[in-house]
Structure 1
Amino acid sequence: MEATPRPAVSIVIPTHTEQRWSSLVRTVAAVKSQQYTPAEIVVVVDHNPALYRRARRDLGGVTVLENLYSQGVSGNRNTGAFHTSTSLIAFVDDDVIMDTDWLGNLVAPFADPQVIGAGGGITPAWEGPEPRWMPEEFLWAVGGSYAGLPTTTSRVRNVWSAGMVVRREAFLAVGGFRTGFGKLGSQNRPEDTELCLRMSGLNGGHWMYVPDAVIRHEVPAERSTFGWFVRRCYAEGRGKVAMAGLLDGSESLGSERDYLRSLPKAVIRNLLAAGRGRGLHHALKAGGVLAGVAAAGWGGVVETVTARRAQSRLETVGATR
C-alpha cells in the first residue's frame, strides 16, 4: 500500500519592528530546522520600509513581502497567507522558537479531514525571573498556555496564532483574519480566536490542540510587571466583548464563562497553600487571579458602554437624515 503523501505547508511570519530583529532571525532559523520541511517561508513586514529592506537583504532562503493591507497583524498575516499556494498554512510570531519536531506534530491531526486547524503548547521564555505573583491560570496574558488546557491532543474551540496551522481551503473561505481587528499599538483584540470561530462555523470543522507541539514565546522584562499584567487583562476583556459583537453575541463566549467558573478554585487552592506555610507566593498568586478577573471585567464593561454609545450616535445621525 502506498503511503499517503504528506501535505505541503508554508509558514508565515509577521514582523513589524527592528527591535525584534534578533528574535526574528532566531525564529527563521528554527523554522528552517524543522524535520517536516516547509515548502516556503514567508516573512511579512508591517509598513516598515527600512525593516523590509533589511529583511530582503539579510534573510536568505525566505520570501519577504510588505503588508498589503492597513497596519496591523491581521493584514500582515493575510498578506503572507494569500501569497502561498500550499494546502496547509502555518503561522508563527517573530519572537518564538521551537524544537525540530514542532511542525510535524502540528500537521499530524490533519489526517482527519474534519480538522480545519491546529495549535500547540506555548511556554513563556521569560527574559528575567518569572513573577512570583503570576497565576498559572493567567499565563495567556503573556502568550503562554495556561493551567486547565488539555494535556493530550484534544479538540478545542480555538488555538493561538503564535503557533498555528490552518487548512488553506477553510481559511480562504472565510477571508482569513479580520483586518482591522487584532493587535495594533495598545489595542489587543483576539483576532486568532475570532478566526477560529468563523472557520469552525463555516462547515462544522474543528480545531485540535497539540500540547506536544511546543513553542517558546519570548516575554520581555517589561511584560512581567504587575502593571502590564493588569493592562493586558483589561485589554482582553475589551477584546472579547468586541469579538462577541462581531459574531453571535454572548454565545461565542462560552469558553470564557467556563474559564471564569474555574478561577475561584485557583484562589482557594493558593490561599490554602499559603495558609499551610507553602510560601507567600501562593497568596500573591491568589491576588493575581482576583486582579486579573477585575481588570478583564472592567474592560468588558468599558467596551460594552463604548459600543452602546457608538450605536446610539449612529441611530441619532440616522434619525436626523
Structure 2
Amino acid sequence: MTMSHVVFPTVTVIICAYTAERWVWLLDVIDSLRLQTWAPNEVFVVVDHNEELFEQLSRTVDDVTVVRNTGPRGLSGARNTGVGLAGSDVVAFLDDDAEAAPDWLERLITLYDDPEVLAVGGRVEPVWEAGRPGYFAEELDWIVGCSHRGLPRVATEVRNVIGANMSFRLDVIRTVGGFNLTLGRRGSIPLGCEETEICIRSKMGAPGCRIVYEPAALVRHHVPASRGTVRYMLSRSWSEGISKAQVSHIVGHKRALGPERRYVRRILPRAIFAGLRDWSRGDPAGLGRAAAVVAVVAFTSAGYFRGRHLAHFPGRPLDPPVLAGVSQWREVQ
C-alpha cells in the first residue's frame, strides 16, 4: 500500500506554555507545525495561568487556538484542558521548546493504522544552548527531557512515551480520565512521570494493546545552559526518584520500575565503563561522565526512598537535603 492510499486519523496538536521567557522558542514550535508534511486538523496552545502570555500570544498568532488552562496550575492540568477541547481521533503533545521535524506528525500517525496501538511517541534530540557539558553522558539525557542512549533505534513497543513528543488515541486518554493532577511539574520542583503513569493506566485498561516508540518521529528540544549544570542534574535526579515513588504508589512497584531496572543494570554500567575507558585514553572528561552516572543513580535512588516514605506522611517537604538552598530551576514543561 502506498502512502497516498493510507487513511490517516485526524489529529489535534496541543502545546502547553507557561512563561514568556520561551517566547521565541514557542513561535518556532508553532512554525514547525505549519511545515508538517501532514497538517494537523487543529492546534491548541494552552497557557498555564499566565494572563500576560495569553494576551500576547492571542494578539500574535491567528492560525492556532490559544486557550487558558481551566484546571489546576501545572502541566497535567494544562494538558487535560487541551484534551477536553480536542475533536480529533488522535491528540499529540509538543513542549513549548521542542521543535518538530517536518515529517514528525506523519511518522507518528502512520502507526495508528494498527487498532491495537494506543499511543505513539518519538525521539527527542537535545539542542544544547552552550554545548553538551563533557560530564553529561548521553545515557543521562532523560534528565533534560530527551531520548537517552539505550532506547530502541527502530519502532518498538515500550512501557511509556516521552512527554515532549507523544500522542494518544483521544478515546483512550479520555477513558482513563486524562493526566493525573497529583503528578507532573508544578512550581519550582521539577517533578514528572505523569506520562509514565497515564501510559501504564492505558495499558491496564486494554490488555494486549501496545504503546510504541518510533525514533523516526523526531523533535529537537532546546536545553538551556542552566540545565547542563551538576546542580540541575542532581536536583532533577532527586525529583525523578520522588516522582517514580508516586507512580509506584499508584500503579504498583513492578509496573512502575521494570524498564528502570533494566536501564540501571544494562545501560548505566556500560556508560561508567566507557567514561573510565575514555579517561584512561586521555579524555579528562571521561572520569566526570563516569562520576556523574554514579551520582545520578545515588540521588535518584535516594529520592525514590524519600518518596516512598512521604507516601505515609503527605505534605512533607520534597527538597533534597544537599540542595535545599536551590531557589530556582528553569523547568522543561
TMscore range, shorter length: over 0.9
Deviations 1:13-45 (A, max 9, x none): 010111111111110010121110100010001
Describe the SS at the equivalent of 1:107: helix
Matched, 1:195 2:206: no
Counterpart of 1:269 in 2: which secondary structure?
helix
| 1:267 and 2:296 matched | no
Q: Match for 1:63: what amino acid?
A: T
For 1:301-320, list aligned pairs within 5 A.
Answer: 301-310=305-314
SS, match of residue 311 in structure 2: helix
Give CA-to-partner distance per residue, 1:179-201, whole Å, 9 cap, x none: 23101121412111111111111
C-alpha displacement at 1:310, in angstroms?
3.9
Q: Helix, strand or coil for the counterpart of 2:38?
A: coil
The count of corresponding residues between Structure 1 and Structure 2 is 311
Q: Give how far 1:4 is off.
A: 4.6
For residues 121 and 114 of structure 2, the distance between their equivalents in structure 1, rounded to whole angstroms, comes to 15
Deviations 1:59-78 (A, max 9, x none): 12011111111100111011
> For 1:147-158, what aligned pairs fall within 5 Å after superposition?
147-158=149-160
Please list the CA deviations of residues 221-265 of structure 1 after superposition, one character each: whole Å capped at 9, or x if unmatched.
111111110101111011101111011234321111111112223
1:283 and 2:287 are equivalent in the alignment: yes
Query: Is there any run of 5+ residues in structure 1 with no aligned partner, and where?
Result: 312-321
Cα RMSD, aligned residues only: 1.7
Instruction: Give the TM-score of the pair, scaled to structure 1.
Output: 0.93
Q: CA deviation at 1:207?
A: 0.9
Take 1:217 and 1:168, find their aligned partners in 2: how far apart are those partners?
A: 25
Shift of 1:309: 3.1
Query: Does structure 1 residue 95 correspond to structure 2 residue 97?
Result: yes
Report SS of the residue matched to 2:115.
coil
Which letter maps to 2:237?
C
Partner of 1:67: 69
Q: 1:117 aligns with which of 100, 119, 140?
A: 119
> In the alignment, is the contact (CA less than 8 A) between 1:75 and 1:180 conserved in 2?
no
Matched, 1:233 2:244: no
1:178-189 to structure 2, matched below 5 A, reads 178-185=180-187, 186-189=189-192
Distance in 1 between residues matched to 2:86 and 2:224, nearest whole Å: 31
8 A Cα contact 2:8 2:110, kept in partner: no
Take 2:6 and 2:260, find their aligned partners in 1: how far apart are those partners? 38
Structure 2 residue matching 1:60: 3-state secondary structure: coil
Rounded Cα–Cα distance in structure 2 between residues aligned with 1:289 and 1:55: 40
Q: How is 1:1-321 mapped onto 2 (pairs within 5 angstroms)?
A: 3-185=5-187, 186-204=189-207, 205-262=209-266, 263-275=268-280, 277-310=281-314
Query: Which secondary structure does the structure 2 equivalent of 1:124 belong to?
Result: strand
C-alpha distance in 2, partners of 1:48/1:296?
A: 32
Question: Quick check: 2:76–2:179 contact (8 Å CA) kept in 1?
Answer: yes
Amino acid at match of 1:178: N
What secondary structure sits across from 2:73 in the alignment? coil
Structure index of larger Rg:
1
Q: Secondary structure at the match of 2:5?
A: coil
Q: Which runs of 4+ in 1 moved over 4 A?
A: none
Which whole-Å CA distance do the structure 2 matches of 1:5 and 1:305 have between them? 50
The alignment-based identity, stated in percent, is 34
**Which amino acid in 2 is paired with 1:198?**
R
Structure 1, residues 92-116: CA drift from partner, whole Å, max 9, x if none?
0000112211110111111111001
Query: How many Å separate the matches in 1 of 2:314 and 2:66?
Result: 39
User: Gapped runs of 5+ residues in structure 2?
Assistant: 316-333
